[in-house]
């Protein structure tokens, strides 16, 4: 199948497919004489796996580790369980951070005592003087 069909069947863009090929998560496609990429059902299966992992907010490195187990199925899967356990820890930390963020936003929401005047707006006043939130501790590097 061509890249457009693969993209449609995997519910992503051709650019995403090229990117995953570039960073080595998806093996390079075979090229026909006309230089068009030709993808197999194995590409589709692997791309769906990658997309499912990304929908769970996994990093490319985490996905790479999981793909290594798919590529070598005779390995013990304990590291897979450990990876998911660690990822749950990341999610739990992020949920705590989001709860703090939500509480601060609710406090700001109630701070506006004169909605007609930006000059006297309690939200703008608090945003100008409050201590910044700590940087989130995401395991994803931007």
CA nearest 53: which of 30, 29, 27, 26?
26
Any domain includes 142: no
pLDDT tens, residue by residue, 35-73:
888 999 999 999 999 999 999 999 999 999 999 999 998
Q: What is the mean pLDDT of residues 6-21?
A: 96
Instruction: Say if residue 10 is in the same domain as residue 62.
Output: yes
pLDDT at residue 80, rounded to an integer: 95
SS3 74: coil
Q: Which domain holds residue 8?
A: 3-71
Give dist(CA 111, CA 63) in Å, integer. Answer: 43
Judge whether 29 lies within some domain: yes
Establish if 141 belongs to a structural domain: no
What digits encode the pLDDT tens for the residues 68-118? Answer: 999 998 989 899 999 999 999 999 999 999 999 899 888 888 877 666 776
Q: What is the pLDDT of residue 83?
A: 96
Specify the residue for token string 């230089």. Answer: 35
Number of domains in the chain: 2
Establish if 139 belongs to a structural domain.
no
Question: Is 134 within a domain?
Answer: no
Domain presence at residue 53: yes
Query: Do 67 and 13 fall into the same domain?
Result: yes
Element spanning 90, H or E: helix 78-109
Same domain, 49 and 108: no
Cβ burial, residue 17 (10 Å; 0-12/13-18/19+): buried
């Amino acid at each position: 199948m061509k890249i457009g069909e693969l993209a449609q069947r995997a519910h992503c863009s051709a650019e995403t497919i090229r990117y995953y090929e570039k960073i080595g998560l998806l093996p390079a496609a075979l090229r026909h004489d006309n230089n068009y990429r030709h993808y197999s059902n194995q590409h589709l299966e692997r791309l769906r796996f990658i997309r499912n992992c990304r929908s769970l907010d996994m990093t490319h490195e985490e996905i790479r580790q999981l793909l290594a187990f798919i590529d070598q199925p005779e390995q013990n899967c304990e590291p897979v369980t450990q990876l998911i356990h660690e990822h749950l820890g990341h999610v739990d930390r992020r949920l705590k951070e989001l709860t703090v963020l939500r509480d601060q936003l609710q406090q700001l929401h109630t701070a506006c005592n004169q909605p007609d005047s930006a000059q006297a707006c309690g939200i703008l006043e608090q945003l100008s003087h409050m201590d910044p939130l700590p940087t989130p501790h995401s395991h994803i590097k931007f």
